[in-house]
């Protein structure tokens, strides 16, 4: 079953689509800002935030399963187990 995107997600997708169009040279930043009803300054702030998030999302990550958070109780039990052995 397909989930209907929220209005906030739809707006974010619209912003993303316009940023891609500006980056590809299809429209100007001024045109994108006008379509979004914001100033060019605000458009450029969104663009910078989006491009930074893209770079972060594409950074290499360590392989395998993520490590589990430190559990003090588990650590204590493991120490007790070692002492008993």
Residue 81 has what pLDDT? 84
CA distance 17 to 11: 10
- The closest of 85, 69, 68 to 77, measured between CA atoms, is 85
Q: What is the reported pTM?
A: 0.69
Instruction: Tell me the average pLDDT of the chain.
Output: 91
Which DSSP letter does residue 24 get? T
Q: How confident is the model at residue 79 (pLDDT cuts 50, 70, 90)?
A: confident
Average pLDDT of span 39-44: 98
pLDDT at 1: 67
Domain boundaries, the chain: 1-58
Cα–Cα distance, 12 to 49 (Å, whole number): 12
Higher local confidence (pLDDT), 15 or 3: 15
Q: Which residue has the tokens 């392989």?
A: 63
When pLDDT is averaged across residues 23-44 and rounded to a whole number, the result is: 98
Predicted local confidence at residue 70, as pLDDT? 76
The average pLDDT across 7-23 equals 96
Q: List C-alpha distances in Å: 50 to 33, 37, 81.
A: 15, 18, 49
Residue partners of 5: CB distance under 8 A and separation at least 6: 13
């Amino acid at each position: 079953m397909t989930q209907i995107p929220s209005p906030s997600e739809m707006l974010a997708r619209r912003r993303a689509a316009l940023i891609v169009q500006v980056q590809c040279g299809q429209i100007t930043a001024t045109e994108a800002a006008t379509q979004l009803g914001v100033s060019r300054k605000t458009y450029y702030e969104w663009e910078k935030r989006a491009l930074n998030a893209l770079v972060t999302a594409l950074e290499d990550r360590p392989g395998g399963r993520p490590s589990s958070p430190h559990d003090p109780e588990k650590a204590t039990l493991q120490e007790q187990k070692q002492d008993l052995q």
